[in-house]
Each structure stands twice: as structure tokens, then as C-alpha cells.
Chain A
């Protein structure tokens, strides 16, 4: 299996590189399972395809760094992760210049951040480029510390360009649901997904003592992976509320269609139990604290910034079980409450979105082929609703086939024939979702957090402030944004959007669907003024 690591992917790094063109049949945004499978499928049928991805290497989050995976011991991440190598191998094959079928049809742009898609279907994206740094100097100087006083502002820069697409496939995947609770902004609190990314990409294990808290399959999986890696876990705090199993039971018949996945979940629980990891059920009142029990806050001063206030850092986690409050010392607290579609791009495009009550999130509308409310824009993978990596792969293939047919590369009959096997595989993957979604629906304390909890991490707006504004009867989240700047910081509402809508819904006695969501504006990722201005030429 090690052979894939040595394969390198030729990328269209230089905007002016030979072969980079400005017009494509299909532009795919995101090189996770959906984007990778769609790219391979589409170019097999003769489409000219551009695959854009903001990461340096394909894989998305689930197969992050699959071609360069850092960990020596493959047992840590397990076979589900390494299954991504097949998708990577397919992609390599499609990119292979000796491939008679796909030769030259697929262009892969790594490190490419899409920041806008215009009305005319042109896709604007930014690429980070590094000028040659004088690395030899810094190594040979013998005094590397001294050198650091001189920074080299020319080392990195970004360039933006536009390419035109006949059809667009959004495969931008999911993000972890932002989990607001008291203290969640303290350094030391991270998402479970971030710990997994550090394992996959860098073989880095979090500092200890380590506590995991939350709900959902990923919580158990990451606990097991960290344990296999030899990381000591001081506790797993499961916040799945009481009675959720009973509520989820009605969806069990569907779940039974995907027995292997169900079995995997039970095996994970067993693995954690056999490992002797302290596991608490029905945890409530989760708080990250910057002080130890009875001790003053641990704070740091930076002598370089004498006017700076003391720095507060994670010291312990507080939680309740059956009404009894507990404290645990903690240097890293990994939190998780499931994943939600990353709707930033689909929102910026003003596609129609629907509220999914079971998953407690928004997803863009799409038909069974993945077509959105815009005839030329398709969506595949978790960005269109959470269904997991395998489902994303099948959705990617189905959407690519439909696009091929729409553009005349396949007949209707060929489309149906090619798509059929993926449809039945997809059905099986989706059958288990309602059970999981109901079982792991986040507890109310994370959906509508207490007043003193920060909701907008960027602009530092609390839940109490949002509630006070909502109580005045404001029209919705966009007016809230105008009033208190929630959602106006660098993350552009990604971290607070769901919570702000939930809080307004709670106060005004409406559903989140009635309340609506932020209007997302391009650029969906920051870009320099220079990059934009250079497009004026």
C-alpha cells in the first residue's frame, strides 16, 4: 500500500502554466471523496474538467493527506481511512498524461481558494505562491535566531484568476458543527476533527491531560484512534441526552439496511470500554475553565507587550452527571457535536436552502442527480446534506454522469445504466442517517447556549446579546448582524450562523426555518485588495 505515497500529483500551480486554460465543461470545487470521484468519472466520459481544492493535496477532510499520510502505524486510523487511496489512485490515473482516455482533460488546481462564483459562471480563486526563499542561508548562518529579526515580506503572495465553467459542481463538504459552550474559545479547546487532521497530516497527538466531550460517531472514532496511537485519554464525556436511543428506535429498521456501519459503531464503544477509558454518559453543563479548583486563573504575561491583559488558557473541564458537578484537569479538550454542511459557497450563490430538522442544519436543495435550484450548479457530498464519505463518493459519480449527459457526452440510456449501481450503493449509505441523526442530535445547551457564552467568536458577541436583540423583535439574523456585528468577522459567520438563527428562533417562538440565515457575501474567503485589483487589467 505504500506505493501511493511516492506518487506525486502534477498541479496547475502557476496560473500561466502551459495547459491551464480558462474554460471548462465542468469546474469542481473541493477534492474530497465527492470531488475526486466526480473528477475521475467526468473526464472518463470526455469532459474537460477543472478540480479546484484549497488544500495542498487531494483527500478533503475525511481522506486528508491520504497520499502523504504521516502515521507509521496504519492501525491507528484504520482501514476506512486508507480506503481513500483508491480514489486517489483513480485521480492519479485520470491525471496521467499517458492515459489514452483522459489525456489532458483533467486539470487539478491545488492550494486554490475559491472566493466567488459570478453570475456568468466564472469561478474566481486565489492561489498562494511562494517565491524562492533563501533557505540555504538560514540553515548555514549558524545563528538562525538572529536572522528572524528580518522578515521577508516577499516570501508568500497570492494571485487570483478566473476560469469559466459550463457546469459547476460544489463538493465543499462538511464542517464540524460549531459547539458554543462556556469557555469554548479558550486556547486548548479544539474540535475532534482538528485532532484527527493533526493525526492524518502530521502524526501529532494532542497534549495531555486530554478530555473528549460531545456526541456522535466521530467522537467515538477519534477517541479510539487516539487510544490506538498510544495517547492517554483522561475521559470521554458523552453529552448525548437521555432518551435519545428510545427516540431513535423508530428509525432502526432503516439503519439495519447498513448493518456493517451499525456494527462498527458498537465495536468502537466496545473498544473504548475494553481500553478502560473513563467514559461518562448523559453529561450536561459542559464548561471549559481557565482556573484550577480553588486556584487563581492561570495567566501569562508577554513581556514584549506590557500593556496586554493576562492571557487565559484552558486548565480544566467542568461537567455534571446526574446533577453532580465534576472537575477534571485538562490541557486539551476536544469537542464534537456532529458535522453540518459547509454552506458558505451555496449561500453566496443564493441557492435555495432547506432546514433539516433531524440534522438541525441547513442544506442546499438538490434533486436526485445533485442538481441545485440553479440549473447549471450541482452539489455532491456532505455539502448537500450529511451522509458520509462513501455516500459522497457515489453522489460525486452520479452528479458527474448527469452533467456528462446534460452536456451531450452520454445518452439518457447510458446515464441510467452507468448511474444505477451507484444509486443502490448510495441508498444503503443514506438509510442509516435518520437513526444516527436522531440519536446524536445535539443537546439544547449547545444549540441555544447560556447567555454568557460567546456565540460569535470573531466579534465576541454573547448569546445574551443576541437574545436581547431578538427580544426587540428584529426581523432576522441579518438585522442582528447589522446591530451587533455578529458574523462580520474573518470567519464570515461560519462559526455563529446556526446558533444566531437558533437563538432568534427560541426568543421569537419561531422555527429556525422561519428565522432564516445570514446572507453570505463574496468573497467567501478573504483575498487581498491587490489580487482583486489585478483582475481589473
Chain B
């Protein structure tokens, strides 16, 4: 990694990945594996980073209830995760703590449980029957998770769900990317992308200085930044911030066995509690009312958590498209420019590092990417 002393001459790279979060790094890593010379252009230490506020779920159940293609790529990614984790361990020695022994989704009312069961049944039908899940009543839940409280109506169990340490995932990808010759440059905010006859010129701006990069291909993985960057290369990415709040506790001895959509215990022993969906614009401050409601929901699920001490809260911005599904698209007007935008950078991490990077390398893919075209938001 270079620590960006911006230099005025134009730098070159075969592929420039704009945005060094979990999404950008996974793709950059895959591209490096495919033999490309890649630079990741990243912002500063205090950039709005969805990656650092990530909840760490590798999650499948319930995802894509209105878009079967999304359910399919989420499950495909979950299946690829083990080999990605193994490969990162081999190359960097970092165990990113992947566990895929299933995940629970707690429902606090019978109504909620019934609705969820219906939704999962419909998804099962859409998948031609190949969509495993179980519905558990409180007693069954307590067999798996003895601390589940009496206010829990039941849960759905998705055997393909799991979780990972997102910070170690990020670190391991960074280290492997650097080992394999990739470059990460803290070049500041990308202010301009100019399509040329051959390739693109990317301009970044940091502390009053411009830095220019020339590249054959450019991949936009700048999260919320994609909204402004995409039109520069004839793409459309109408993403909006969506505030997710996460509470993090002191380290505890092992207490919880399974991740749930709202609460999980990490390998370090901390309890992570999420989340909220509220549209707030670019404010990452925590809001007490929202946090209190998250805490209140968590203690209904696990009354034992009443006495746990919270040491940190996070307000991190999810990257949301109007329909909540990702955008994967190559520009038709300026081939060689790609946009990737999603809010589940961890779950889809293995897909990004594998088939998505292959798509960008080879300009072809088996993935149903036409479903994720950004033009679906036009008109």
C-alpha cells in the first residue's frame, strides 16, 4: 500500500477499483487472482465506511423474497464462502472466524412468525422446492438457544446462514491483495472519471491536490459515492443512505450459539446487536431513541442481556437502491466501466471475489446479472 503522497504525473493501472471497502477489495482481490494489475483508490481514515460498521452476517434466509435472482446469488455466495475463508487463512494466516452452522430469525409475535413462515414458503416455491428452512416454536428455539426469553414467539432457522468477523475479513483481503502485488492508494475522493478512446482517466482530490490515474477498466465500488460517479461513465446508480445502528458489548464468555438477524456473539465474545432501517441522510450520529428500541428488542429475545454492558455504538450507513437489491452492470456507452453496489458486502463477498471478478475479467458470466441492471430505476 502506498500512503498517497499525491503526485501530479498521471499514474497507470490496468484496472482501477474506486472505493476500498469490503466490496471493492473483494473484487480487486479476484481481479488480481485473474492476473490483472489492480489499483484500489480509497478515501481517508475517517471516510464514511459501511464496511467498518458491518454486522458480519453471511445471511441467506429471507433474502430476495421479491427477486428470485437475488435469493440465488446470495445462496451461491454463501456456498462459496468456506473456500474463500480457507484460502485467506492459507495465504495470510488470518482466521476470519467463518461459521455456517445455521442462523435464527426471532419473531416476537405469532403474527410475525406466521408472516415470516408464509414468506419463506413462497420463496421455497419460487426456488422449485430447493430452499431449506425450519419454523421453530419457543421450546424448540430454547433447545438451540437456552437464553431465548419467554417473549419470543418462535424463530425460523436457515441452515445456510452464518457469520464471520467482518474486520478480520477486511484485513485478510487487504493483506492478500497487497501480497499479490495489488496497490491501495489513499488518494482522497474521486472527483472525475473521463472516458477516453482507450480506457479512462480517474481524478482524485485530497488536501488541495489532484491525482490522476489512467486505466483500461474502472470498477465503481464507492458505496454511496457511486451515485455521483456512475453517470460519468454512462451508468445509473441511484443509491441512498440508510442508517443502521449497531450496539457492541463487553467481551463475555460464550453465551449464544447461533447468529440471529438482530443479535450475535462474536468469536471475541462481544455481543453485537442491530439494527434499524431509517432514512436519515448523511448523518452517522447515533440516536438514542433508535438505540433504546434496538436494546429493548434485544432484551426481549435474550433477557440475560439486560445486565450486559455496552461499550460502543455504531451508526453506519447502508447503501440502498430504491428496491433494496444490488446493481451489477457494465456500461454500454463506455465498455470497461462497471458499477457494483449492494448493502450486503459480507454475504456477497465470496461472490464478488469469485464470479463477479471473473465477469469483469472475461466480459461474460453465468450469473443472472440482467436482473441487477441499474436502468431498472429509470422512469
Point out residues on A near B: beta carbons under 8 Å.
116, 118-119, 122, 124, 162, 350, 472-479, 482-485, 488-490, 492, 508, 510, 515-516, 519, 521-523, 526-530, 532-536
Cβ < 8 Å to A, chain B residues 243-278: 247, 249-250, 268, 273
A223→B293 CA distance, assembly (Å) = 51
For this complex, 10 residue pairs linking A to B, each with C-beta atoms less than 8 Å apart, are A119-B287, A473-B184, A483-B170, A490-B250, A492-B312, A529-B307, A529-B308, A530-B306, A532-B310, A533-B292
B285 near A119: Cβ-Cβ < 8 Å? yes
Which residue from A116, A478, A483, A528 sits with its C-beta under 8 Å from B309? A528
A529 near B310: Cβ-Cβ < 8 Å? yes
Which residue from B1, B247, B286, B293 sits with its C-beta under 8 Å from A529? B247
B2, B311, B314: most-surrounded residue (chain A CB, <10 A): B311
Q: Which residue of A lies closest to B299 (CB)?
A: A533
Determine if B9 is an interface residue (Cβ-Cβ < 8 Å).
no
CB distance from B13 to the nearest CB of A (A): 16
Q: Which residue of B lies closest to A508 (CB)?
A: B3
A490→B252 CA distance, assembly (Å) = 12
A521→B174 CA distance, assembly (Å) = 25
Q: Which residue of B lies closest to A527 (CB)?
A: B310
A460→B299 CA distance, assembly (Å) = 31
A51→B47 CA distance, assembly (Å) = 36
A484→B167 CA distance, assembly (Å) = 9
Which residue from A122, A472, A489, A526 sits with its C-beta under 8 Å from B288? A122
Note all chain B residues with C-beta closer than 8 A to A162. 288
B167 near A482: Cβ-Cβ < 8 Å? yes
Cβ < 8 Å to A, chain B residues 131-169: 167
A527 near B309: Cβ-Cβ < 8 Å? yes
Interface stretch of the complex, out of B38-46, B65-73, B334-342: B38-46
B295 near A533: Cβ-Cβ < 8 Å? yes
A528→B292 CA distance, assembly (Å) = 11
A535→B184 CA distance, assembly (Å) = 43
Note all chain B residues with C-beta closer than 8 A to A508. 3
Determine if B76 is an interface residue (Cβ-Cβ < 8 Å).
no
A122, A485, A526, A527: most-surrounded residue (chain B CB, <10 A): A526
Determine if B366 is an interface residue (Cβ-Cβ < 8 Å).
no
Note all chain A residues with C-beta closer than 8 A to B289. 535-536
Instruction: Give how many B residues have a beta carbon under 8 Å from the other chain's beta carbons.
Output: 46
> A473-B1, A473-B186 given as contacts; is B295 within 8 A of A532 (CB)?
yes
CB distance from A467 to the nearest CB of B (A): 14
Residue-by-residue, is B168-185 near A (CB-CB < 8 Å gives 1, otherwise 0)?
001100110010000010
Note all chain A residues with C-beta closer than 8 A to B43. 475
Cβ < 8 Å to A, chain B residues 302-318: 305-314
Note all chain B residues with C-beta closer than 8 A to A536. 289, 292-293, 295-296
Note all chain B residues with C-beta closer than 8 A to A484. 171
Note all chain A residues with C-beta closer than 8 A to B175. 472
> A472-B1, A483-B167, A490-B250 given as contacts; is B288 within 8 A of A530 (CB)?
no
> A116-B288, A475-B44, A533-B299 given as contacts; is B171 within 8 A of A482 (CB)?
yes
Q: Which residue of A lies closest to B268 (CB)?
A: A485
Note all chain B residues with C-beta closer than 8 A to A116. 286, 288
B309 near A521: Cβ-Cβ < 8 Å? no
Determine if B115 is an interface residue (Cβ-Cβ < 8 Å).
no
Cβ < 8 Å to A, chain B residues 35-60: 42-47, 52
A472→B283 CA distance, assembly (Å) = 30
Determine if B222 is an interface residue (Cβ-Cβ < 8 Å).
no
CB distance from A220 to the nearest CB of B (A): 37
A529 near B313: Cβ-Cβ < 8 Å? no
Note all chain A residues with C-beta closer than 8 A to B42. 475
Note all chain B residues with C-beta closer than 8 A to A534. 292
B286 near A522: Cβ-Cβ < 8 Å? yes
A394→B173 CA distance, assembly (Å) = 53
A118, A477, A523, A532: most-surrounded residue (chain B CB, <10 A): A532
B171 near A526: Cβ-Cβ < 8 Å? no
Determine if B291 is an interface residue (Cβ-Cβ < 8 Å).
yes
A523 near B288: Cβ-Cβ < 8 Å? no
Determine if B298 is an interface residue (Cβ-Cβ < 8 Å).
yes
A535 near B45: Cβ-Cβ < 8 Å? no
A526→B167 CA distance, assembly (Å) = 22
B313 near A522: Cβ-Cβ < 8 Å? yes
Note all chain A residues with C-beta closer than 8 A to B307. 528-530
A458→B292 CA distance, assembly (Å) = 27
A482→B295 CA distance, assembly (Å) = 24
Note all chain A residues with C-beta closer than 8 A to B298. 529, 533
> A124-B288, A508-B3 given as contacts; is B45 within 8 A of A477 (CB)?
yes
B250 near A529: Cβ-Cβ < 8 Å? no
> A475-B42, A478-B52, A516-B45 given as contacts; is B292 within 8 A of A532 (CB)?
yes
Note all chain A residues with C-beta closer than 8 A to B283. 119
Note all chain B residues with C-beta closer than 8 A to A523. 310-313
A529 near B306: Cβ-Cβ < 8 Å? yes
A528 near B308: Cβ-Cβ < 8 Å? yes
Q: Which residue of A lies closest to B312 (CB)?
A: A521
A528→B298 CA distance, assembly (Å) = 12
A9→B182 CA distance, assembly (Å) = 64
Which residue from B296, B305, B309 sits with its C-beta under 8 Å from A526? B309
A526→B311 CA distance, assembly (Å) = 5
A529 near B288: Cβ-Cβ < 8 Å? no
A119→B313 CA distance, assembly (Å) = 15
Which residue from B1, B2, B47, B306 sits with its C-beta under 8 Å from A528? B306
A476→B312 CA distance, assembly (Å) = 20
A535 near B306: Cβ-Cβ < 8 Å? no
CB distance from B267 to the nearest CB of A (A): 11
A474 near B1: Cβ-Cβ < 8 Å? yes
Note all chain A residues with C-beta closer than 8 A to B311. 488-490, 492, 523, 526
Note all chain B residues with C-beta closer than 8 A to A119. 283, 285, 287
A122→B291 CA distance, assembly (Å) = 15
CB distance from A227 to the nearest CB of B (A): 40
Note all chain B residues with C-beta closer than 8 A to A124. 288
B308 near A473: Cβ-Cβ < 8 Å? no
Q: Which residue of B lies closest to A482 (CB)?
A: B167
A529→B309 CA distance, assembly (Å) = 6
CB distance from A300 to the nearest CB of B (A): 23
> A473-B2, A485-B268 given as contacts; is B313 within 8 A of A533 (CB)?
no
Q: Which residue of A lies closest to B290 (CB)?
A: A536
A405→B2 CA distance, assembly (Å) = 51
A362→B314 CA distance, assembly (Å) = 23
> A485-B268, A532-B292, A536-B296 given as contacts; is B250 within 8 A of A526 (CB)?
yes
